[in-house]
Amino acid sequence: MKDQQFVIGVDYGTLSGRAVVVRVSDGQELASAAFDYPNAVMDEKLNFSGELLPPDWALQDAHDYVEVLKNAVPEAVKLSGIDPTQVIGIATDFTACTMVPVIEDGTPVSQVPEYKDRPHAYVKLWKHHAAQPQADRINETARAMNEYWLPRYGGQISSEWELAKGLQLLEEDPEIYSHMYRFVEAADWIIWQLSGNYIRNACTAGYKGNLQDGKYPSEQFFAALNPDFASFAKKIDHEIGQLGDKAGTLTAQAASWTGLPEGIAVAVGNVDAHVTAPAAKATKPGQMVAIMGTSTCHVMNGDKLAEVPGMCGVVDGGIVSGYFGYEAGQSGVGDIFAWYVNNQVPGRYFEEADKLGKSIHEHLTDLSAEQNVGEHGLVALDWHSGNRSVLVDHELSGVLLGATLTTKAEDGYRALLESTAFGTRKIVETFRDSGIPVTEFIVAGGLLKNKFLMQLYSDVTRLPLSVINSEQGPALGSAIHAAVAAGAYSSVLDASEAMGSVTPALYKPNEERATAYDLLYAEYELLHDYFGRGTNDVMKRLKSLRRQAASAK
């Protein structure tokens, strides 16, 4: 029976959404289709009005998310060749923390005519970092009030999360804040559009909304930040749905968008990183999954509750039921490589790549792979988009140290590849030192195609590196949850065993290279603490000067 049943997983990324058709019996992916968001990321200006945005903003238009359902889902079903009546469920995953301010019926505030020209009415994407001043105050106040939940987030929360973004909205546009009925994670908003039901998923509520032991921070705490913020919990509080549960069934309207049968199961929302763990069969303690793309999110199950400095959070059942789900991350990875090739690489390298039939990234990787470890004479910090873990500070910025007049483009490129591996090693070691050992490193996401980078990560971390077999890990993970919500499997663990797929220990550390990388990592650590732990706050001073200069225009 299961071999004639199918589910749809929809992965909402930073720039596009992708739908995948998956067979319930074994997880085979029959077809996929993607749709680029028409408004992409608004980080320089608001598309509706042309208004220039301040530094560190990143907005989106929620209307684009519905367009994914209207375009990618029916296209994927068409390409798969299945009969749509064979689809028994649909599930989605989203970047997080991505917040949608809505009115009572779920309409985004940005779609209210009188607010279309107001930046704060729009979706604040996960990489909206303009709430760092608010995050700093939240952390300072939480420490002063000895809030019990703070250590469960590594000792401080991020500007990316719900509290900081909500406080920024209140203080910079109180009219929008007052008009907003709910501040909703996009992961839950899209499920609301599919099923007609608003259900908060346990994952984002715990990791991004600071829900611990069944409650949010107190009204007294919110009031200490700003008296008008006292009622913030009411704007984020709602019924919690567990991962793999059914949020509802597909509405007639959503059925018309997608071409799927009305009434099929719609799973509770989830996050792109966390939903990937079952797709990679990484559901046991010690298996750290890194979803490597524009950024990297590290997730892992543990069988005990521990406080890990700089982690993004620990949530009971945050990945799968029965374990504590841990999260950490790096705010910039693929984004850093893209910035480098778009801004720092001479044109002749692009011409050479074209002649060789390679992408510029492939060409630079191949050139840098010819070097011995340390031959470029460089070390870099991977903070071009701030530091998510373990410093949790988005006022930090990138460093490339050791450049000379003989430094070549491939040297800098390799140093940046290495810097992201060093950032991951810092996370792994911090977990280990906190009593949560990492025994296996599993990679999903677009960057796993770079074999040199994968071997580099194995060498730097000194861990065996396994690789998910699906190129659409989050979408497959969502499909697994759809199968559970539809009743085809009794649990996410059972569905993971049947539908997930991974190649274990595809890369193993090379001792000679690992020893050489130890020397570079030691230099990385020195820079990490010098710039990141208060010895020299030059990065923050420079960002302050930048804001002053921008505001003076």
Question: 73, 60, 57, 104: which is closest to 11 by C-alpha?
Answer: 73
Nearest partner of 132 among 157, 150, 153, 154, judged by Cα: 157
Cα dihedral 112, 113, 114, 116 sign: positive
pLDDT for position 197: 98
Give the CB-side neighbour count of residue 144, counting CA atoms within 13 A: 10
Q: Distance of alpha carbon 361 from its chain centroid, rounded?
A: 22
Closest CA to 65 of 17, 105, 114: 17
Which residues of the chain register pLDDT less than 70?
Answer: none
**What is the pLDDT at residue 363?**
98
Distance CA 78, CA 71 (A): 11
The pLDDT, as a whole number, for residue 248 is 98
Looking at residue 203, what is its pLDDT? 96
Distance CA 435, CA 286 (A): 11
Q: CB 172: neighbour CB atoms within 10 A?
A: 15
Structure tokens at 546: 């930048």
Q: Of 140, 124, 239, which is closest to residue 177 (Cα–Cα)? A: 124
**pLDDT for residue 1:** 73
**Residue 203: closest CA among 232, 153, 242:** 242
Q: Is 31 exposed, middle or buried (0-12, 13-18, 19+ CB in 10 A)?
A: middle
pLDDT, position 3? 82
Place of tokens 């952390």: 139
CB 312 within 8 A of CB 158: yes
Taking a C-beta distance cutoff of 8 angstroms, is the pair 319, 289 a contact?
Answer: no
Calculate helix-pair angle for 451-461, 511-532, nearest 10 degrees.
80
Q: What is the pLDDT of residue 551?
A: 83
DSSP code, position 469: S
pTM of the model: 0.89
Return d(Cα 281, Cα 301) in angstroms, integer.
12
Cα 528 off chain centre by: 22
- Backbone φ and ψ of 467, nearest 5°: -130, 130
Give pLDDT, residue 53: 97
CA distances in angstroms from 134 to 169, 180, 352, listed in the order given = 10, 19, 47
One DSSP character per residue, 180-228 reads -SEEEEHHHHHHHHHHS---EEHHHHHHTS--BTTBPSPHHHHHHH-GG
Report the C-alpha gap between 88 and 483 in whole angstroms: 8
